[in-house]
Amino acid sequence: MILILIRLEPHHLDAIRAAAPGAQIVVLSDPKEMAEKIGKFIPAVEVILANPHQDRTLPAQFLKGPRLRWIQQRSAGANWLLEYPEVAEKNLIITNASGVHAIPISEHILAFMFCLARDIQRSIRDQVGHRWNRIHQVTELDGQTMCLIGLGAVGERTAEKAKGLNMRILGVRRHPELATPWADQVYGPEHLMGVLPQSDWVIITAPLTRETKGMIGERELKAMKKLAYIINVSRGPIIQEQALIKALQEGWIAGAGLDVFEEEPLPDCSPLWDMENVIITSHYAGRNPYYLDRLIGIFTENLRRYQAGNPLIKVVDKRLGY
């Protein structure tokens, strides 16, 4: 049995049926229906397509499934595993949607960078207030240095695009020996404090794990250039938010582009809302009109592999969380 817990279009369901013609497929995409009926199907389900990152009640249900062998999650990040370490002990494969949003998120990063470099966020405020203001703090991206913390699908695509802007690319990743043609140098996490002072742009594209949670705090922010910017499109808790607020208020760094936060939605009382050197977007960097098409492409390929007994793609290391 395949249990689908996200909303899909008819042609997506047709593709799933074509990839697994003999399977029983159950769709519970309405939250109320899911809450009422999921317990009925969990004992028999073998494969689940779901979004455990968004609905944190689902993993507890997954753990009750005696026949469950594989979860295809809708998102790339699997930080929900931090809350359910017992999942790592189960005979259970988890695959993610890594790569489906490499294009939109890398473009979102560049949008942040262009806006901050040309002080567009202040111009928008001036436009709203009908103010003609030609005094702006601007810079050029050409020739500047970008530090990418995380070189997965999003980091790689961002590095590729930044190379087209004649930028110097420094990467920080768990396995620095895994080189990329787009980075000038790749370092392990232990070298982060040496990379930050060299960087004009610090871009966080790493997954949220036990190692990355809170990795950017006061010490790291003070190590950055005063004219440097930080951008986070990954997970909010990677940055210690109070330290970031202090850094922005006291001028340790020039500004920030933030799509993710420690608490979401970002509380009304957060000082980040009113900072002129900050651009805020509401955790939508990965949204794009082709997301589900790309996701179903991964899922159907894995369905064919699963039925044939072949290794799946996009497999998550349950202990590392990505």
Query: Could you list the active site residues?
Result: 235, 264, 283
Q: Which two tokens stand for residue 37?
A: 């009926």
Residue 156, token pair as written in the block = 């790689």
CA atoms within a 13 Å half-sphere pointing along the CA-CB vector of 322? 20
Distance CA 210, CA 215 (A): 10
Distance between CA atoms of residues 320 and 306, nearest Å: 23
Backbone dihedral angles phi then psi of residue 33, each to the nearest 5 degrees: -65, -40
Pairwise CA distance, residues 24 & 207, whole Å: 34
